[in-house]
Structure formats: C-alpha cells, structure tokens
Amino acid sequence: MILLHTADWHLGARLGRHDRMADQREALHGLLEVAQDVRPDLIVHAGDLFDAFRPPYDAMRLGVRALNRLTEIAPTLVVRGNHDSRELFQVINELAGAGAGDSSRLRLIVDPQVVPYREIASHAVAVACVPFIPPGTIADYAADEHGRFEGNYADGIRSVNHRLLDEAERRTGPEGIVLYAAHLHLHGAKPGNSERRLTVGEDYAAHPEGLQRALYCAFGHIHDPQLLPGGAARGRYAGSLVPLDFGEATQAKEAVVVRIDDDGVQVQARPLPATGRPLRQFSGALDELEAEARDGGLDGVILKARVVSDDPIPHLADQLAEWSPGCTLFNVVNEVANRRAKPISDDEGDVGPEPEMEDLFMEWRASAATAGQRTAADEAVRALFAQAIGTVGQDTQSDLGAATLATRAAESLKSLAAKRRTARD
C-alpha cells in the first residue's frame, strides 16, 4: 500500500496585503505531480485546508478543485484543523456525497472517528482520525459512557486515541492496516517562528504514547516538516504547503510518501517541485541591495528589506522597483544613523523657550516625511497646519473653509426652493 500525506494548505492566507493564491496554486500543481508520480492508494490531508472559517470564494474553489483532482488518483481523507470550519466541511461532504458509505472517494472529518476502507491494495484499512480539539471541549470527547472525564488535555487526547485505535484494530483484524491522522501539537515537536503560540503551547500539547499501535501517523498543525518527537511512533508532520510568512522562509516544503509492504514501512519525504514565490529577507547597505536587485536579480520574490544608511534615502521603494520590477515588496525600512537630534540639558537655565508647534511640524516634515527633500508646497502646507491648530482650545475651532462652503450650499438650496415656489404659483 502507498499513502500520500499532506497538510496545512491554509488556502486563502495572505502575507500582509499580498494575496498568496498564485503561490498556493503553483504548490498544489507540484503536489499533484508527486501524486501522479507515486500513484498512492490513499491520500491523507492532516488539517487546515483553509486559513479561515470563512475563506474567500476563490480559495474555496481552489481547495475543492484540488481535492477533486486528488480523488481522481486515490480516495482522499481530510481531518479538520483549527482553521477549518465544521459547517463548511459538512457542506463539502454533502456536495461530495461523503455520506454514501465506505465507497466515498472524499471524506472531510469533523469529529474524532475511525474511517474504514474495506479494501485498499488487498488490505482492510482503518484510519483513526483526531481533528483539532480545543482544551475546553476535550472532556466531551474523552469521557466514556460510564462516568465523567477528569484529567488534563494530554490525558484526554490519550483517552481518545486509545478508544479509536481499539476500534480501528477491531475493524481491520490482525492482517489489516491501522493508520492514524491528527491535527495536534505533540510534546517535543518544534514549532516554527510563524505559528500562533495560542494553539501550539503546552496547554494544547498531547503525548505520543500509544501511537506506535498505528503503522504510520500523519500529523498536521506544525508548519516545519519534521519527524514525530520521541521516536516511539512512526510518523511525520508534513508541514505547510508554502512558506506562509517570513518565519518559514528557510523551510523546505514537502509531501510524505509512505510505502507499507511485507518488508515493513518506508517513509520518504518528497520535496515539492514548486512552492510559489520565495520569501527573501535582506539587511544591509544600499549598494549591497542594488547588487542583488539590479537587472531583475530579485524578480519573482517577496522581499522584506532593512536598508542601513548614514542619511535618509529618498524614493527607496522606487529605486528597488527600477532595479527589479518583478519583485513584490512586502516591507522596506530605512534605518538612518544621522537623524537630527537635539541635545537634552539638565540645566533648566539652558533649556530656552519651548519650540512652536509649527516649527516642530516643519522640522518633522523636512527630516522624516519627505526624507530631507524640500518641496514647492512647503509654505502652503505650513499655512494649512497653522490654520488647523490656530484655534485649538477655543470654543470656535478652525474649519479650514468648511463653514464658507456650507453657507454657499445653504444659499443655493434656498434660492432653488424659491424658484420652485415661483414656478408652482
């Protein structure tokens, strides 16, 4: 039997203001290439199909189309992650006919359960599935029919695992294949810098004890691909489909191919042939950035740049766009060493009069807002600023000409009304 394991697509995710749909679409093409090459008997997605409970329509369309393509290759099973909507999964299940029994090609799992397959590669197969369970609801799943559950989150997950694996073994018999799929954080797993600590902290961590009963454990939730911690259970975190933010910029993205035969279980991490635009971080001087970016050197990447200089660099983003017009700029920061600063004296006699607000505003405009470049509109801007603050603290505030416009509008409406009355008479 051949199993293909993937996870954490996060379709619909954005990086700041930048849409990642094109990158995710390219990565899904790469995943389909792997699937078509290995021709698996079963495909398992270990959660976080989407990035939000209400993903954009184009993200839903991409996800459903990708799942349909995968089901053309092999039966496909998706475990709900913490970003996935229970209700949306149920709708997709109904549209896919997933309630039709063991013959369903696509199943989206919303609650802990065992999914049996009567025959895959001449074997009975059962997958013990544990979708993401918040700590506040673990007692609902861990308690048995004879009493209440008392224990912590890890104890509750252990209880759920034990019950599901018992059922999976009963369904497959001694010659069958028992698998495990979950969207969980295991103690000892190493989250990446990007992941939300709220759902990968110790309060959400489970233990791997007992999972060795499954021939392979397909995990999602941790975005950095890795073996399961502890070494007792055989399995992996497949990782996310694309680098979702700069905390994942150096991670190699992959799919996992598992071969189960008479010789045992072989697990191979297959690098995805495409994962969209790489995320690039730069820190250095302007000439170093120019050396990398000139003649399109940074085309096709998403860039986060920190440029260090002695004096402000005007139009930095424009320069970068000229050197690499195909570069997507996430953020660029100019750290300036020689910004003007006024000395602070402890001697009150040397302090002098407090500067006027207008002077402070123009100083800020000259040094920061326009990167030291004076413009012809400076005096007009100063006049508007002076008018705006001229009556601060008074009963009647400056309206920058709004009162005059309102008066003219009222006069025009009054004249129009008079003309209408005359026409009626």
**The domain boundary residue, chosen from 339, 365, 384:** 339
- 323 and 201 both lie in a single domain: no
Taking residues 383-401, report their average pLDDT. 64
**The domain boundary residue, chosen from 220, 249, 271:** 271
- 243 and 139 both lie in a single domain: yes
pLDDT, tens digit, 9 for 90 and up, residues 253-263 = 999 999 999 88
**Tokens 């060493």 sit at which residue?**
337
As a whole number of angstroms, the distance between CA 243 and CA 223 comes to 8
Task: Provide the pLDDT confidence category of residue 151 given band limits of 50, 70 and 90.
Answer: confident
As a whole number of angstroms, the distance between CA 159 and CA 148 comes to 12
CATH number at residue 169: 3.60.21.10
Task: Provide the pLDDT confidence category of residue 419 given band limits of 50, 70 and 90.
Answer: confident
- Looking at every residue in the chain, the average pLDDT score rounds to 87
Question: Which of 42-56, 67-81, 85-99, 396-410 is predicted with the least confidence, judged by mean pLDDT?
Answer: 396-410
The pTM (predicted TM-score) of the whole model is 0.78
- 141 and 288 both lie in a single domain: no
CA angle 355–357–360, rounded 5-degree value: 70
CA angle 6–10–16, rounded 5-degree value: 145
- 256 and 301 both lie in a single domain: no
In a domain, 367, yes or no: no
* Residue 92: alpha-carbon gap to chain centroid: 22
* Coil vs helix vs strand at 121: coil
E strand segments, 7-104: 14-15, 18-19, 42-45, 76-79
In a domain, 347, yes or no: no
* Coil vs helix vs strand at 5: strand
> Which residues, 6+ apart, have CB-to-CB distance to 409 below 8 Å?
none
Confidence (pLDDT) at 86: 95
For the chain, the domain total comes to: 3
> What's the domain range around 190?
2-271
In a domain, 393, yes or no: no
In a domain, 356, yes or no: no
As a whole number of angstroms, the distance between CA 50 and CA 58 comes to 11
Residue 384: CB atoms within 10 A of its CB come to: 13
Task: Provide the pLDDT confidence category of residue 282 given band limits of 50, 70 and 90.
Answer: very high
In a domain, 334, yes or no: yes
7 and 269 Cβ atoms separated by less than 8 Å: no
Backbone angles phi and psi of 349, in degrees to 5: -70, -20
The 3-class SS string of 345-413 reads CCCHHHCCCCCCHHHHHHHHHHHHHCCCCCCCCHHHHHHHHHHHHCCCCCCCCCCCCHHHHHHHHHHHH
Share of the chain above pLDDT 90, in %: 63
In a domain, 348, yes or no: no
In a domain, 364, yes or no: no
Orientation angle between helical segments 57-73 and 86-96, nearest 10 degrees: 50
More reliable by pLDDT, 164 or 193: 164
- 184 and 250 both lie in a single domain: yes
**Tokens 């007792």 sit at which residue?**
232
- 68 and 189 both lie in a single domain: yes
Name the residue among 213, 216, 220, 259 with its Cα closest to residue 41.
Answer: 259
- 157 and 215 both lie in a single domain: yes
First-to-final CA distance of the chain: 93
Confidence (pLDDT) at 260: 96
Give the pairing of strands 254-261 and 264-271.
Answer: antiparallel
In a domain, 349, yes or no: no
As a whole number of angstroms, the distance between CA 131 and CA 202 comes to 18
- 258 and 403 both lie in a single domain: no
As a whole number of angstroms, the distance between CA 282 and CA 333 comes to 10
Cα 362 to Cα 336, 359, 377, distances in angstroms: 19, 5, 12
* Structure token pair of residue 402: 């709004």
**The domain boundary residue, chosen from 314, 339, 364:** 339
Name the residue among 104, 381, 244 with its Cα closest to residue 115.
Answer: 104
Question: Which of 22-26, 95-99, 382-386 is predicted with the least confidence, judged by mean pLDDT?
Answer: 95-99
Confidence (pLDDT) at 371: 47
- 194 and 322 both lie in a single domain: no
* Coil vs helix vs strand at 45: strand
- 252 and 315 both lie in a single domain: no
Q: What is the dihedral of CA 58, 64, 66, 67, to 10 degrees?
A: 160
As a whole number of angstroms, the distance between CA 215 and CA 235 comes to 8
pLDDT, tens digit, 9 for 90 and up, residues 183-220 = 999 999 988 776 554 455 667 789 999 999 999 999 99
Name the residue among 220, 249, 216 with its Cα closest to residue 50.
Answer: 220
- 211 and 287 both lie in a single domain: no
- 266 and 162 both lie in a single domain: yes
**Residue 147 reports pLDDT greater than 70:** no
As a whole number of angstroms, the distance between CA 142 and CA 157 comes to 7
